[in-house]
C-alpha cells in the first residue's frame, strides 16, 4: 500500500506497508528501560473483593491497571507544559501527525566528564536541510538501549546551542534516543528544553520533544516521513509511537 504526500513543491511516495517503528514498548519486566530513579512499571489485574480481572484465574476478561511514568518508562512525547508553571497538554499541542524528518547519527563529543551533542555536529549532519522533525540517534547504537537503566549514568545530552539552532531553522519536533535532551543532573536548568521551546520568552506551544526512542541500525541516515502517534493524555507528556516511512 503506497501513499503520496506533498512535500514542499513536490509529490513524494512512501510504502505504508513498511513502517519503521522507533518506539520502545512499555512492559512489566526487568527488561523495561528506566530513568529518573524509578522502579519498573507495573501491570496488574484489578481485584474487587474475591474477583480478580484475569482469565486464567476465572474471570471472563483480562482487566489490568497500569502504573507508569511517561518520562521514566519508555518512548514519550512532551510539550512545553513539561517545564512551564501554566498547564499545557501535549494532547492539545500535537494536532497534526505527519512530518518530514531527518534521521541523524552522531557520536557525542567529550566535554569534561560529559558527552555532548554539539552545534557544529548538528549543523554538519543537517547541511542545509530544514525538516519539520529531527530524529537523533546516538552512537554507539547498541540494542541494550531498549532495556538500559539510565539513573545516575550521566547520559549524553544535546547542547543548548544545538537545540536553539534547530528551533531557529524551523524544526518543530525533536526526537532523541535518550531519556532527556538535557543533562541528567543540571540543577533544573533544562537548557536544551528551554532553547528548543523558546521558553519563557515566547513559548512554542505546538512544538514537541520525543525522548526514549530507538532507531534500529538498519535504518540509514536521511530523509523520511514521520508519523508521530501519541496516546490522548491530558498531561504534559504521553506515551507515543513514532513511526518512520522511507521515501521511494
112 three-class SS: coil
Question: What pLDDT was estimated at residue 68?
Answer: 98
Cis preceding linkage at 200, omega within 30: yes
Per the structure, the count of domains in the chain is: 1
Is residue 96, in this structure, part of any structural domain at all?
Answer: yes
Q: Which pLDDT value is given to residue 195?
A: 98
Q: What is the pLDDT of residue 6?
A: 77
- Whether 231 maps to a domain, the answer reads yes
Mean pLDDT by 10 residues, the chain (248 residues): 79 94 97 98 97 97 98 98 98 97 98 98 97 98 98 98 98 98 98 98 98 98 97 98 96
Of 45, 47, 49, 50, nearest to 64 by C-alpha is 45
For 47, residues 6+ apart whose C-beta sits below 8 A from its C-beta are 53
Supply the range of the domain harboring residue 235. Answer: 2-26+72-246
Residue 34 lies in a domain: no
**Residue 1: per-residue pLDDT:** 81
State pTM to two decimals. Answer: 0.97
Task: Tell me if 56 is assigned to some domain.
Answer: no
pLDDT at 4: 83
Q: Is residue 237 part of a domain?
A: yes
Q: Give the domain CATH number at 100.
A: 3.50.30.50
pLDDT score of 74? 97
In a domain, 57, yes or no: no
Q: Are 12 and 30 in contact (CB under 8 A)?
A: no
Residue 62 lies in a domain: no
| In 122-178, beta strands by DSSP E | 133-138, 157-158, 173-176
Domain annotation covers residue 50: no
Amino acid at each position: 500500500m503506497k501513499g503520496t504526500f506533498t512535500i514542499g513543491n513536490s509529490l513524494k511516495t512512501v510504502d505504508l506497508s513498511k513502517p519503521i517503528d522507533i518506539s520502545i514498548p512499555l512492559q512489566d519486566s526487568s527488561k523495561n528501560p528506566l530513568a529518573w530513579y524509578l522502579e519498573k512499571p507495573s501491570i496488574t489485574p484489578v481485584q474487587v473483593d474475591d474477583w480478580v480481572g484475569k482469565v486464567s484465574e476465572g474471570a471472563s476478561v483480562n482487566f489490568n491497571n497500569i502504573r507508569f511514568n511517561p518520562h521514566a518508562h519508555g518512548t514519550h512525547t512532551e510539550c512545553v507544559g513539561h517545564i512551564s508553571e501554566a498547564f499545557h497538554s501535549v494532547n492539545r499541542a500535537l494536532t497534526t501527525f505527519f512530518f518530514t524528518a531527518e534521521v541523524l547519527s552522531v557520536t557525542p563529543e567529550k566535554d569534561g566528564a560529559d558527552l555532548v551533542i554539539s552545534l557544529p555536529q548538528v549543523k554538519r549532519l543537517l547541511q542545509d536541510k530544514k525538516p519539520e522533525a529531527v530524529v537523533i540517534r546516538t552512537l554507539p547504537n547498541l540494542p541494550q538501549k531498549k532495556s538500559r537503566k539510565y539513573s545516575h549514568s550521566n547520559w549524553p545530552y544535546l547542547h543548548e546551542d544545538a537545540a536553539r539552532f534547530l528551533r531557529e531553522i524551523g524544526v518543530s519536533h525533536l526526537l532523541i534516543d535518550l531519556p532527556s535532551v538535557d543533562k541528567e543532573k543540571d540543577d533544573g536548568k533544562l537548557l536544551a528544553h528551554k532553547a528548543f521551546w523558546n521558553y519563557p520568552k515566547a513559548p512554542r506551544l505546538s512544538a514537541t520533544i520525543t525522548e526514549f526512542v530507538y532507531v534500529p541500525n538498519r535504518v540509514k541516515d536521511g530523509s523520511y516521513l514521520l508519523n508521530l502517534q501519541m496516546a490522548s493524555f491530558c498531561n504534559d507528556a504521553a506515551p507515543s509511537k513514532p513511526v518512520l516511512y522511507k521515501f521511494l
